[in-house]
Structure 1
């Protein structure tokens, strides 16, 4: 059994159990994720909450007091798959780690890893949405331009990455995005696939990105107008819950 480090923040286990159970009764996936993630609006942004690296034993961390953009979607997807807090813990292991093995080496460090190794739960729909507008780039993840790794101890991995360039995102693309879609902000930087991740939330005709913002003006989970947020970004990768 992996060691655990659990901080529930403002919630008790019983309160989280109730939220997860109520969410599990919502049949529509987008509304389900909206319901769960709405409870985390204004949660503090906190980076580096996970414990483990090439020199340190991995610990199963649940820290709901503070999240970064990636742990936020980890928790939301694991909660979506669950009907109790106990089941959430088990599902988090499978969402965060390949084959449910808690270790630094098997952690899904990259957004496209998260999609690739969670195919039972999510699928990359970037090409389906972007169609002929989709661009593709071959990258070696975890290999910087100078050849050194971002994450020592993790083998570089070649991957073909499909993304929709921001300049190609029009009303046709916008209409295809659904509440609950996980969106990665594509980066052209060597060795990385995305620079940020969040969740699409549709409210009437408006589209928002619900995400844990690291910007000094916010430093918390917020909703931002999707188009305004991405206007100066390179593009998006869209991953849809099954």
Structure 2
């Protein structure tokens, strides 16, 4: 669903890295705990430039398994100034995807902070207006973070016109932001057969298609092809497994109308 910003986040430190330099990383709001996690994750990442992208996506996304679920960790709204938040002690489905994608592109802390801006915001502008609030913003914005490959995976893909941010029941999801017309393509869950799954790649971002005309998806995760079968790796808010978990893809498909698939460009 849309990234509804929260303002109740309590962080213990605000760190400006490289201030005063034209190439400096932007200021970031990060807790001591998140800072330690970030350093640990960066140390664990294989920096082999020839590493297989799928293996890299699997290993980096696996670092988050067991991380608690936490909603509303980002700070900013139409009335509250946006802050560049790094919160690794708890994640929701969208921030989890943000952090995995930024880590994939980074060798050190400053690169991560800078790359997170490129993943999360349009035009490198840390502002509520330019935050990529919707999943398909990753493919619709320039430069794209990912390519929408949904239509290439199945002849049964369906294209649906949407007015993102406009609730079917009236009003908007995110006050202060415009309604964005966009055609969203999805594959109905009952059409996601072995052939479609065989075309998915480890590291693909998979969104649960939203039937509401004002949303593109309601949830996001990462496709991982494991030895025990394909899984949907995601930050779940369910009370019985709240946190980042692996769910069998077939079981997850039984709970959603369809999937939207974005393939990372880097």
In the superposition, relative to structure 1, how do residues 82 and 180 fare at CA in structure 2: closer, same or farther (>3 Å)? same
Contact 1:23 1:80 in 2 (8 A): no
In structure 2, the partner of 1:166 is: 189
Shift of the 164–178 alpha-carbon distance from structure 1 to 2, 3 Å rule, reads same
Partners of 1:83 and 1:128 in 2: CA distance: 32
Post-superposition shift, 1:205? Answer: 6.1
The answer to whether structure 1 residue 198 and structure 2 residue 221 are counterparts is: yes
- Residues 174-197 of structure 1: per-residue CA shift (max 9 Å, x gap): 111111000000011131110100
Shift of 1:67: 0.1
Q: Would you say the 8 A contact 1:163–1:236 is kept in 2? A: yes
Q: Which moved more, 1:27-36 or 1:68-77?
A: 27-36
In 1, are the aligned partners of 2:37 and 2:88 still within 8 Å (CA)?
Answer: no
Q: Residues 4 and 23 from structure 1, CA distance in 2 versus in 1: closer, same or farther, beyond 3 angstroms?
A: same
Q: 1:187 to 1:120 in 2, by over 3 A?
A: closer
> Against the structure 1 CA distance between its residues 48 and 118, is the aligned structure 2 distance closer, same or farther, given a 3 Å change threshold?
farther
C-alpha displacement of 1:25: 4.3
Report deviation, 1:204.
3.2
Shift of 1:163: 0.4
Superposition RMSD in Å = 1.7
Q: C-alpha displacement at 1:16, in angstroms?
A: 3.0
Q: Which consecutive residues of structure 1, in runs of 5 or more, have no partner in the other structure?
A: none
Alignment match, 2:238:
215
Give distance in 2, aligned partners of 1:211 and 1:104.
Answer: 24
| 1:185-218 CA distance string (max 9 Å, x none) | 0011131110100000101361000000000101
Query: 1:241: how far off?
Result: 1.4
Between Structure 1 and Structure 2, the one with more strand by share is: 1
**Is the 2:34–2:86 Cα contact (8 Å) retained in structure 1?**
no
Count of residue correspondences: 240
State the 1:24 CA deviation: 5.2
1:41 CA drift (Å): 0.2
Structure 1 segments, 4+ long, off by >3 Å, are: 8-14, 23-26, 118-121
- For residues 203 and 149 of structure 2, the distance between their equivalents in structure 1, rounded to whole angstroms, comes to 13
> Could you tell me which residue of structure 1 aligns to residue 14 of structure 2?
none
- The answer as to whether partners of 2:41 and 2:63 remain within 8 angstroms in 1 is no
Q: Is the 8 A contact 1:50 1:61 kept in 2?
A: yes
Q: Which runs of 5+ in 2 are unaligned?
A: 1-18, 20-25
Deviations 1:143-194 (CA, angstroms, capped at 9, x unpaired) = 0124311000110100000000001111110111111000000011131110
Give me the whole-angstrom Cα distance separating, in 2, the residues matched to 1:146 and 1:173.
33
TM-score between both structures, scaled by the size of structure 1? 0.94
Alignment of 1:51-130 (within 5 A): 51-117=75-141, 119-130=143-154
Q: Check if 1:5 corresponds to 2:29.
A: yes
